[in-house]
């Protein structure tokens, strides 16, 4: 592999592992390196960050009944997820710039290719966080504090693959924080259903990001980067099955813990319980389709987790609407 001094893709303003997207086609040329730095050309990460927050808001609303402010929470979480995912990716690229420069798939990214300097990247990260903070200030005080605490896991995550075989755990801790934040933003207090839903999300992240990491296992081995994909190897299917069971089981417990104490209408309970079972069925389908030696297959299945996450959100939101109608 070549060093960062050879960067024909970067010089041309193209990133090798993301081509033909809306940024390449429509964004003004001067903005493209920054949009790529924020992964705006690859929205799957924004979805995966947003979805646990949507689940939590919907489940909390199914417990207490929806409120008009919940509509703003959905919009605010969407804006915040886009911005904070962008800030997190920017931070990740700053910390990983030397690694990225040694990997064919990533050496044309904005920082290792020279399109954006580290100082410019830091300034861009600060701008994204500042705008996100304006959205956060519209939430209650408990949610604001919880969001600030999340900065710790976000800052640590890029370094995890250097010292542990389980960096996906650190990603799960950071990416599912919305499950805690959404409940707090709706209810003002943190309750056990939110914590259990958070743990379900971490199990889900271990599932989908292990699949994703199989794309890079050869390059990771060459440069000494650790991952669950490398750790599990040919036993990945067994581990993925365990994560599936954990995710479905924990989400089921979260729904029951949220709704049984308030004697939710049976229709509300049935709709919300549909979420974990559809969730599990889709994850099982992914396992049956998986070929850990095909990067294309791994990427396709990883992206499919947006769809299953949206299905879960739809079931829980429908349960919340039923709670409003049926009481």
Q: Could you state, in order of their start, the residue ranges of all structural domains in the chain?
A: 8-326
pLDDT at 71 (0 to 100): 96
Q: What is the pLDDT of residues 99-121, one digit of tens each?
A: 776 766 777 788 988 899 999 99
Q: Give the list of residues 6+ apart from residue 54 with CB closer than 8 angstroms, or none.
A: 74, 77, 178, 182, 313, 316, 317
pLDDT at 24 (0 to 100): 83
pLDDT at 11 (0 to 100): 42
Tokens 């200030």 sit on residue? 137
Percent of the chain with pLDDT strictly greater than 90? 81
pLDDT average, residue stretch 173-190:
97
Angle 265-269-275 (CA atoms, 0-180°, nearest 5)?
Answer: 155
CA nearest 304: which of 273, 325, 283, 276?
283
Tokens 């199989």 sit on residue? 214
3-state secondary structure of 15: strand
- The model's pTM is 0.91
Contact in structure between 205 and 172 (CB atoms under 8 Å): yes
CA nearest 251: which of 174, 187, 193?
193
pLDDT average, residue stretch 111-136:
95
Neighbours of 177 (CB within 10 A): 23
Contact in structure between 116 and 94 (CB atoms under 8 Å): no
Q: What is the pLDDT of residues 226-276, one digit of tens each?
A: 999 999 999 999 999 999 999 999 999 999 999 999 999 999 999 999 999
3-state secondary structure string across 26-49: HCCHHHHHHHHHCCCCCCHHHHHH
Q: Residue 18's beta-bridge partner residues?
A: 15
Report the distance separating Cα 68 and Cα 51, nearest Å. Answer: 20
CATH classification (class only), 8-326: mainly alpha
pLDDT average, residue stretch 162-180:
96
Is the model's pLDDT at 218 over the cut of 90?
no
Contact in structure between 45 and 85 (CB atoms under 8 Å): yes
Report the distance separating Cα 285 and Cα 278, nearest Å. Answer: 11
Report the distance separating Cα 302 and Cα 282, nearest Å. Answer: 12
Q: How confident is the model at residue 18 (pLDDT cuts 50, 70, 90)?
A: low
Element (H, E) at 133: helix 118-136
Q: How confident is the model at residue 14 (pLDDT cuts 50, 70, 90)?
A: low
Q: Maximum distance among all alpha carbons in the chain? A: 65
Tokens representing 33? Answer: 């390196």
Instruction: Determine which of 46-55, 153-162, 268-277 has the lowest per-residue pLDDT on average.
Output: 153-162
């Amino acid at each position: 592999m070549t060093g960062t001094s050879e960067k024909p893709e970067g010089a041309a303003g193209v990133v090798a592992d993301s081509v033909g997207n809306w940024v390449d086609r429509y964004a003004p040329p001067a903005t493209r390196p920054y949009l790529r730095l924020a992964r705006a050309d690859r929205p799957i990460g924004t979805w995966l960050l947003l979805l646990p927050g949507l689940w939590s808001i919907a489940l909390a609303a199914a417990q207490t009944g929806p409120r008009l402010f919940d509509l703003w929470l959905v919009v605010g979480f969407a804006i915040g997820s886009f911005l904070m995912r962008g800030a997190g990716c920017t931070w990740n690229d700053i910390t990983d710039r030397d690694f990225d420069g040694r990997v064919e798939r990533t050496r044309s990214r904005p920082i290792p290719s020279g399109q954006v300097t580290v100082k410019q990247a830091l300034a861009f990260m600060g701008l994204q966080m500042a705008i996100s903070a304006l959205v956060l200030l519209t939430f209650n005080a408990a949610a604001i504090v919880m969001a600030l605490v999340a900065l710790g896991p976000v800052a640590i995550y890029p370094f995890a693959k250097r010292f542990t075989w389980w960096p996906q755990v650190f990603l799960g801790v950071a990416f599912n924080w919305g499950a805690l934040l959404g409940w707090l933003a709706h209810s003002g207090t943190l309750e056990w259903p939110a914590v259990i839903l958070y743990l379900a999300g971490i199990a889900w992240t271990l599932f989908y990001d292990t699949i994703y990491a199989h794309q890079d296992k050869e390059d990771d081995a060459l440069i000494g980067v650790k991952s669950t994909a490398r750790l599990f190897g040919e036993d990945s299917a067994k581990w993925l099955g365990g994560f599936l069971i954990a995710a479905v089981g924990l989400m089921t417990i979260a729904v029951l813990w949220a709704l049984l104490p308030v004697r939710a209408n049976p229709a509300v309970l049935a709709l919300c319980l549909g979420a974990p079972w559809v969730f599990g069925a889709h994850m099982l389908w992914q396992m049956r389709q998986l070929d850990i030696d095909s990067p294309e297959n791994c990427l396709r299945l990883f992206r499919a987790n947006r769809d299953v996450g949206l299905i879960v959100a739809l079931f829980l939101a429908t349960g919340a609407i039923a709670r409003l109608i049926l009481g």
